Structure 1
Amino acid sequence: MLKHIAQAGTPSLTSLTLCFALAGVLMLGLQVVRRGGVARLSFRNLLAGVLLGALNFGNILCYVRAHQLLPHSPATVFASMNLGVVILGALVGKLAFGERIGRRGWVGLLLAAPAIAAIAWGMRSG
């Protein structure tokens, strides 16, 4: 869907804002139905949801913009964005939340960097 939005020339900020607003309304409605007519929202949960949503919104906005800039390289965009999210997520988990990254996790992260470099090199060459 995001690739089609990017290729259609739809203003990405507008379409993403509408998608996220619709998703927010639908999820709030789902919570009301699941809780029997009451959606309990604490300030802490609401703040965390807004922060997580803003980060996800930024990620998807970058994804759409990348598809607009590289319309003939969707595999490159997909792989690069996903590798970037995994690397950043693992490092934030480690640094901000003290999560333990095992040996295989570190090997995976170390292999991700050359993978992104190889993708970038292939784009430059091809």
Structure 2
Amino acid sequence: MLANRLNASIQSHAHDELFILQLSTTFPLKLEILAIYFPPDHLPVPEIIWRLKQDDIHFQTTLVISLEPTTDLLTYGKDRTNLWVIPDSRALTNLLLSPNPVEVLTRLFATQLAIITLSPYQTRRIKNQRIFFFK
């Protein structure tokens, strides 16, 4: 459902907890791939963080969707030194119900990721010229 709302396609899905989305070329930020991780209910925060550090998602921007995000888990989303975006229940509801989910997601990214992750500035071949020009 989220992939459809973001106009993305599911690139892979290794298990029920992890999905890799290919974002649309019209996505307004410098992100092509988004991992979505659904930690199992009642999994301790240290175990969630350990799993986020595994090779299959460690170097990818990852949206962590937990139905019961604890304060400890939400603290990791506020740490801009990692690539984890962890919405609280209000932000998750907004993402799922907003008429413009791409805008909601980009704002969520802006509050939880380092600017270098989001910046359209590219030092090599420009892959997505659309991020520089508006219609």
TM superposition score normalised by structure 1 = 0.31
Scaled by the length of structure 2, the TM-score of the pair is 0.30
Larger relative strand fraction: 2
Say which structure, 1 or 2, has more relative contact order (CA 8 Å, 6+ apart). 1
